[in-house]
Structure 1
Amino acid sequence: MSDPVRVGQLAAGRIGPLQGTPRERAQTQAGAADNAVSFRQLLGRAELKFSQHAQQRLKQRGIELQPEQLDRISSAVDQAAAKGAKDSLVLYRDIAMIVNVPNRTVVTAMDGASMQEHVFTQIDSAVVVGES
């Protein structure tokens, strides 16, 4: 049923802590470095995305966000996700954004003038982004 094991010999199919030649192990480690690149790409996916509608609204309303501002907003989305939010109102300065938290996608955005007498519906949370 099972292969006999003799002193100084391993039976086929048994795995020790080190496998392959030193060259094969080096190639495996190089493959792990390739996986690190893939991991970086996965982290890149964690960035905030903007729907076509949100991009149009930002452009129409003359709203431009700098990288450091996007980082703060992204951190706010992280906080909302940690609390289990699905659709959140994110308030940053005089900008309001509705964000689909699981997809990390800004669905729409408006400036202070557009927020006048506006009712926000279909949200389950709100996050106010503080200044640093």
Structure 2
Amino acid sequence: MTADIEEKEVTTDDMELVVLPGGMPGTLNLEKSPIVKASVQYCLDNSLYVAAICAAPSILGHMGALKGCTATCFPGFEKELEGASLSSQPVCVSGRIITGKGAGVADGLCSAHCGGALWIAGIRCDQKIHSVSKLTCL
């Protein structure tokens, strides 16, 4: 993924999902951003997908978004997944929240298979959504 707009240009007008790529210090920078957190909250409030990889699921844990979800993350960040049932699986799909252990399991968010769900840009292909018209990388 390549960021195609600046943070100040992000709007929720045509937002379909949010993908948090993780890594360090990237995850810390994402979590500090009011725009990123507002975008995540918008997706959560409007039943849109939120995907987070590596350390980034910790952001969802800190926001309380993982309560009742099954989630995974990069080893060592498990305690940050507040309210989640932890999984050792490389990718977890829990409702509209998708978490991945690390970049190696996501293959660029193009294809990772876990528990019967094919992960394509954060969308489960066993559902009727097969494409995202505009993907904004935060």
TM range (shorter): under 0.3
The TM-score, its normalising length taken from structure 2, stands at 0.26
